[in-house]
Amino acid sequence: MKSLENTTVSKSDSARLPIVPGTYPAHVSEFASMEYNDSVVFNLTYIIAPEAKQLEVNKMFVDNGQLVKSKDSEGQDVMISASYMAGKPFKGGGVWLTPSPAEGEGWKNKKYQLHCESMGIVFDTNEDGETILGEIEEDDVIGRPVLIKLGQEEYTKEGQTKQAWKVFTVYPWKEGGRLSGEEIKSDVPF
């Protein structure tokens, strides 16, 4: 074989840029709900918005299963555009709604209220200033803009520790526009 001395591949030269944890602009792209006992759990998927290209993230590579920051020759972090993250879908944790909660158990729906309000859903209030919740449906949420906090979750399966990417929290993205169902489908790159 002819040696190519000037053609090297370092550890940090990944074939594909790995997913990087962080806060990204996104849209709700999938909706699923399931009844469980007297509650409903909503499972939402979010797709990272094209506006992610405005953000910079650390260039990273995977070494022994761990994400490692790439450094330049002076030891400084290498930053790159997050444009490659756009179009990637990520699932969130279940959001629970308990309709007609027992006296003193209204707190059970607080996370649901905050999650919905972060998606820009406005609930009515009664004369006492209490929020009157409603049960969200697919049409209420698909395409809504949010900021998502993306991270890795560890779990154990068949005795092995595995990692999965998950949306841990959503925040309002007031500057983001809502997409239609068709626009969301056309954004999915497969």
Binding residues vs other proteins (CB under 8 A) = 22-23, 25, 51, 54-56, 111, 114-115, 118, 147, 149, 168-169, 171-175
- Comparing CB distances to other proteins, the nearer of 3 and 161 is 161
Nearest distance, CB of residue 20 and other proteins, angstroms = 13
Question: What distance in Å separates the CA atoms of residue 94 and residue 43, rounded to the nearest whole number?
Answer: 5
- Comparing CB distances to other proteins, the nearer of 43 and 169 is 169
- Comparing CB distances to other proteins, the nearer of 50 and 181 is 50
Give me the residue label for tokens 């954004």. Answer: 187
- Comparing CB distances to other proteins, the nearer of 23 and 98 is 23
Nearest distance, CB of residue 147 and other proteins, angstroms = 7
Question: What distance in Å separates the CA atoms of residue 172 and residue 45, rounded to the nearest whole number?
Answer: 16
Sign of the dihedral through C-alpha 140, 84, 175, 170: positive
Please give the DSSP secondary-structure letter assigned to residue 110.
Answer: H
Nearest distance, CB of residue 6 and other proteins, angstroms = 32
Question: What distance in Å separates the CA atoms of residue 10 and residue 73, rounded to the nearest whole number?
Answer: 13
Nearest distance, CB of residue 142 and other proteins, angstroms = 21
The H or E element spanning position 132 is: strand 131-132
